A = this chain, B = another copy of it.
């Protein structure tokens, strides 16, 4: 029986943000890295690399994400371990992590990375509905990540992960609409959000071109449905 040591372990990260495109609509986007080596040279792939003996999978994900994109999300959540026999020319099991980043955090982190002179030329952000065919099974991995994201908004507050600490109901609804890929009725959305009791109104308002809109924040007394007693390796030491 072939030994397990012939199987290598890699990590990859699906890191999603909401970015406003020229038409003014917010769209889900993620960074991809252009591969320079075979297999799949000159094809786009998820940021990632090999797991090394001295680091936990989540630390490897954080390290390879920083090395390739300069991004450092506040947390990484394990998405899935992909291990199909034929997913790579050699036998590779990829432990995939995912994270949500606010667009302003993305901008700040990329700027800091560029200022450090280590800005990667082979990284590009793609709207999730305009992705090229990716290396390995990364297209399927992104599809699965998007399914999980759409699924989670139904029973968790994952959409808030794209928003600043205080946001308007319209901004929250726009995040839901971008994730679900359909428009939501503002009145029904407001009713459902208020019934869920996950938001606390503040006494502050967003002012601008429209009439002032009240700002809300997370009710942190309500636990996220999708967080739990993750193992020690799930706290990145980086």
Interface residues of A, Cβ cutoff 8 Å to B: 1-10, 50-57, 78, 80-85, 87, 91, 93, 95, 137, 140-141, 143-144, 147-148, 151, 154-155, 225-226, 228-233
List of B residues within 8 angstroms of A233 by Cβ: 82-85, 87
List of B residues within 8 angstroms of A155 by Cβ: 154-155, 225
Whether A4 and B84, one on each chain, are in contact in the complex, defined by CB atoms closer than 8 angstroms, is no
The chain B residue sitting closest to A137, CB to CB, is B231
The chain B residue sitting closest to A141, CB to CB, is B231
Interface residue from B50, B85, B95, B229 paired with A93 (Cβ < 8 Å):
B95
List of B residues within 8 angstroms of A85 by Cβ: 53-56, 233
Count of chain copies: 2
Whether A151 and B4, one on each chain, are in contact in the complex, defined by CB atoms closer than 8 angstroms, is no
List of B residues within 8 angstroms of A151 by Cβ: 225-226, 228
How long is the Cα–Cα vector from A220 to B52 in the complex, in angstroms?
44
Whether B83 and A80, one on each chain, are in contact in the complex, defined by CB atoms closer than 8 angstroms, is no
List of B residues within 8 angstroms of A84 by Cβ: 56, 231-233
How long is the Cα–Cα vector from A85 to B225 in the complex, in angstroms?
28
The chain B residue sitting closest to A226, CB to CB, is B151
The chain B residue sitting closest to A55, CB to CB, is B85
The chain B residue sitting closest to A230, CB to CB, is B144
List of B residues within 8 angstroms of A228 by Cβ: 144, 147-148, 151
Whether B93 and A143, one on each chain, are in contact in the complex, defined by CB atoms closer than 8 angstroms, is no
| 14 residue pairs bridging A and B, Cβ less than 8 Å apart | A2-B54, A3-B8, A3-B52, A4-B9, A4-B51, A5-B5, A5-B8, A54-B85, A56-B83, A83-B95, A83-B233, A93-B93, A144-B229, A151-B226
Whether A10 and B5, one on each chain, are in contact in the complex, defined by CB atoms closer than 8 angstroms, is no
How long is the Cα–Cα vector from A55 to B95 in the complex, in angstroms?
17
